Amino acid sequence: MKSIKGLLTIIGLLSLGFVGGFFTHRQVTIQQVQKVREIGQAPGFQRHLLQFLEPSADQREQLEPIISRYAQQMGEQWREHRAERKVLVDAMHEEIKPLLTSDQLQKLDDFSKRFRTRRDKNGKSRREKRPEQTGLEQ
């Protein structure tokens, strides 16, 4: 009887450890992805670089205009890259759609929706407008 209780206790503790580790890893990964997204935008890049460098007040005054100029360029490059990738993905979808069943088309649409959802700075989900919804083409 004691060995069964001991075994159940060990299994329970291992299960708790696994679940706790899973959710901890998930949260850390989400934070890392958000940091990468933030660094891809000009203000986030500038803020993170200045935090990393820890410049003095005099250095900061000299560094900010230079870093800001490059951060703007990097942010623009990030947006262009996203637009180019979207064109490629859309072209691929148009080419593979005739080969898919209706169930697969639904799965493809569900899969694509995950990438059209963006998160704001508070982590709240907001839908990214598709060109046909805004009347604009990207």
Q: Which residues contact 46 (CB under 8 A, 6 or more apart)?
A: 64, 67, 68, 71
State the pTM of this model.
0.51
d(CA 72, CA 78): 10
Termini Cα distance of the chain: 68
Taking CA atoms, 32 is separated from 29, 36, 60, in Å, by 5, 6, 26
Average pLDDT, the chain: 82
pLDDT, tens digit (0-9, with 9 covering 90-100), for 70-112: 999 988 888 888 889 889 989 999 999 999 999 999 999 888 8
Where do the structural domains in the chain lie, given as residue ranges? 2-115
